Amino acid sequence: MSSSPQRAATPTGTRRVVVGVSGSIAAYKAPFVVRLLRAAGHEVRVVPTEAALRFIGAPALAAVSGHPVDTGVFDDPAAVEHVAVGEWAELVLIAPASADLLARLAAGRADDLLTATVLTTTAPVVVAPAMHTQMWLNPATVENVATLRRRGVTVIEPDSGRLTGADSGVGRFPEPERVVAEALAVLGGDGAPRAGAPAALTDQDLAGRHVVVSAGGTREPLDPVRFLGNRSSGRLGTLIAAEAARHGARATLVAANVGSDVLALLPAGVEVVPVGTALELEAAVRTACADAAAVVMTAAVADFRPAVVSGTKIKKHGLDGDGAGHGGASGAAKGDARPAPIELVENPDVLAGLVTRPPRTDGGRTLVVGFAAETGDATGDVLAHGAAKARRKGADLLAVNAVGDGVGFGDVDSAVVVLDRDGAEVARAAGSKGHIAAGLVNLIAARLA
Ligand code: CTP
């Protein structure tokens, strides 16, 4: 803390808090934040942006804070107000923080009293974003948030739920009680920033949690050299496990035939459990989930496996093989290369099993997240199929890979729409797999909080 006389110690327990308000419709909730802070005995000065004043009047903010309200660096140039306000503050809390405000902070702008105050203060800065889901998940905002967190700004995760319009999703301004509690938690008992506090509330928001991710594609053997498989690389699931670890989680990746080039994306400390078949994957996931806060099933699990696996290579002409269960392999006459039908039996639905027979041993609940790649067909579009699957599987969240013709997401790497177990849309994201992984882990962290 500065030794400036303006920042002399305040009575024990009382903090000087600058509440910044920016141009989000949630600005109308700022007075509740101010009232909670004052009710807890703290002194508050409110600094709104010009845009905030379109949503909430300066007289209301002055009344609840008990201080006059200024917005511009030129309101009282002689007072060098941005420096004075920044030095006065023991904590700067911007609630709500709009996408535009986050962008201006990340860029280091100082074009109004609030952004100038953030640049001059040495106090911890906490922001509580509130915006529409698309804006929150936009790559520009994701990068701005990452930049701010890297610089030590505490970014409170927005809530998920009903937004301003008829839609819902992540981006909602949290309850003022949570905003105030998380902001004050940044300060230690002596008013100094608590060591490591910003990280503990932001990047580390999954600390102490176990997150299990399945990735890749199962391979169901026919014989020692052949299998029924799929093209899944496991990249998205691997990135989700990496992102969960970055948020402080203990992460386990159940990797079904994931290449070493993809596994190289994992940071140190992520446990990798290699599996081959659907049955192996089921056993590994259920074991790992015994204490999991969340499980994310990105793996492409084969719905069926060959009824019988030949112990020896099945021969085209059935010369040596037992050809067990594959009829024609052993039954075909020499010279008759007509393939025999392969009898299949159904694999367990691992995801549905996690919902109906949760493996947690401590009685706690695991948040279950599934994936579904849908293309749409004559019976319904991508979202109709996704919503039906969400209701059928009963997972807490189902991320539908909205791929295929006519969906209209444009030329992007990937796109997902996240549905709840009733098939209602919770969030959507489009962009690189890393971006989608970041959005999903934010959503999971918010759900677990
Ligand atoms: N899944 C699973 N076990 C299976 C099949 C799928 O756990 N035997 C999981 C996947 O990991 C994914 C979700 O279920 O999270 C949806 O997978 P998908 O293949 O889209 O669903 P299916 O139930 O197999 O439906 P479909 O008829 O569309 O293949």
| Amino acid of residue 25 | I
Q: Is 351 among the annotated ligand-binding positions?
A: yes
Mutation test residue for ligand 1: of 282, 285, 303, 416, the one with most atoms within 8 Å of CB = 303
- Sorted by where each begins, the domain ranges of the chain are 16-186, 210-305+345-448
Q: Is 371 among the annotated ligand-binding positions?
A: yes
What pLDDT is stored for residue 282 in this prediction? 98
Q: Is 29 among the annotated ligand-binding positions?
A: no
Task: Give tens-digit pLDDT for 198-221.
Answer: 333 336 889 999 999 999 999 999
- Ligand 1 centroid to residue 149 C-alpha, Å: 36
Percent of the chain residues past pLDDT 70, beyond the cut: 83
Question: Worst-scoring range by mean pLDDT, 1-5, 78-82, 98-102?
Answer: 1-5
Whole-number Å distance between alpha carbons of 129 and 101: 9
- Ligand 1 centroid to residue 326 C-alpha, Å: 26
The residue whose CA has the least distance to atom 20 of ligand 1 is 372
The residue whose CA has the least distance to atom 3 of ligand 1 is 349
Q: Which superfamily is assigned to 210-305+345-448 in CATH? A: CoaB-like (3.40.50.10300)
Q: Is 348 among the annotated ligand-binding positions?
A: yes
For residue 432, name the pLDDT band (cuts at 50, 70, 90): confident
SS3 assignment for the chain: CCCCHHHCCCCCCCCEEEEEECCCHHHHHHHHHHHHHHHCCCEEEEEECCHHHHCCCHHHHHHHHCCCCCCCCCCCHHHCHHHHHHHHCCEEEEEEECHHHHHHHHCCCCCCHHHHHHHHCCCCEEEEECCCHHHHHCHHHHHHHHHHHHCCCEECCCEEEECCCCCEEEEECCCHHHHHHHHHCCECCCCCECCCHHHHHCCCCCCCCEEEEEEEECCEECCCCCEECCCCCCHHHHHHHHHHHHCCCEEEEEEECCCHHHHCCCCCCCEEEEECCHHHHHHHHHHHHHHCCEEEECCECCCEEECCCCCCCCCCCCCCCCCCCCCHHHHCCCCCCCCCCCCEEECCCHHHHHHHCCCCCCCCCCEEEEEEEECCECCECHHHHHHHHHHHHCCCEEEEEECCCCCCCCCCCEEEEEEECCCCEEEEEEECHHHHHHHHHHHHHHHHC
> What residues are labeled active site?
230
**Which residue would you say has higher pLDDT here, 334 or 4?**
334
Task: Give tens-digit pLDDT for 129-166.
Answer: 999 888 998 999 999 999 998 888 999 988 877 777 76
Task: Give tens-digit pLDDT for 315-368.
Answer: 887 644 444 445 444 444 455 567 778 999 999 999 999 999 989 988 889 999
Percent of the chain residues past pLDDT 90, beyond the cut: 55
**Which residue would you say has higher pLDDT here, 80 or 37?**
37
- Ligand 1 centroid to residue 351 C-alpha, Å: 7
| Index of the ligand 1 atom closest to the CA of residue 299 | 11
| Amino acid of residue 225 | V
| Index of the ligand 1 atom closest to the CA of residue 385 | 28
For residue 107, name the pLDDT band (cuts at 50, 70, 90): very high
Indicate if the pLDDT at residue 93 is higher than 50.
yes
What pLDDT is stored for residue 105 in this prediction? 97
Mean pLDDT, residues 18-28: 95
Mutation test residue for ligand 1: of 275, 277, 346, 351, the one with most atoms within 8 Å of CB = 351
- Ligand 1 centroid to residue 378 C-alpha, Å: 20
Q: Quick one: tokens of 10?
A: 């305040």
**Which residue would you say has higher pLDDT here, 434 or 65?**
65
Mean pLDDT, residues 6-27: 76
Residues with CB under 6 A from ligand 1: 278, 297, 299, 301, 303, 347, 349-351, 370-373
| Index of the ligand 1 atom closest to the CA of residue 351 | 7
Q: Is 393 among the annotated ligand-binding positions?
A: yes
Class assignment of domain 16-186?
A: alpha beta
What pLDDT is stored for residue 73 in this prediction? 63
What pLDDT is stored for residue 363 in this prediction? 84
Whole-number Å distance between alpha carbons of 152 and 130: 19
Q: Is 205 among the annotated ligand-binding positions?
A: no
What pLDDT is stored for residue 188 in this prediction? 54
Whole-number Å distance between alpha carbons of 229 and 218: 6
Whole-number Å distance between alpha carbons of 43 and 49: 20
Task: Give tens-digit pLDDT for 253-311.
Answer: 999 999 998 898 888 889 999 999 999 999 999 999 999 999 999 999 999 999 999 99
What pLDDT is stored for residue 80 in this prediction? 67
What pLDDT is stored for residue 371 in this prediction? 95
Indicate if the pLDDT at residue 413 is higher than 80.
no
Indicate if the pLDDT at residue 89 is higher than 60.
yes
- Ligand 1 centroid to residue 372 C-alpha, Å: 7
What pLDDT is stored for residue 326 in this prediction? 53
Indicate if the pLDDT at residue 43 is higher than 70.
yes
For residue 74, name the pLDDT band (cuts at 50, 70, 90): low
Question: Worst-scoring range by mean pLDDT, 39-53, 69-83, 138-152?
Answer: 69-83
Mutation test residue for ligand 1: of 297, 298, 301, 355, the one with most atoms within 8 Å of CB = 301
- Ligand 1 centroid to residue 134 C-alpha, Å: 27
Q: Quick one: tokens of 34?
A: 């101010």
Indicate if the pLDDT at residue 117 is higher than 50.
yes
What pLDDT is stored for residue 299 in this prediction? 97
What pLDDT is stored for residue 237 in this prediction? 95
**Which residue would you say has higher pLDDT here, 415 or 349?**
349
Whole-number Å distance between alpha carbons of 348 and 302: 9
Among the ranges 59-73, 79-93, 118-132, 182-196, which has the highest mean pLDDT value? 118-132
Largest CA distance in the chain: 101
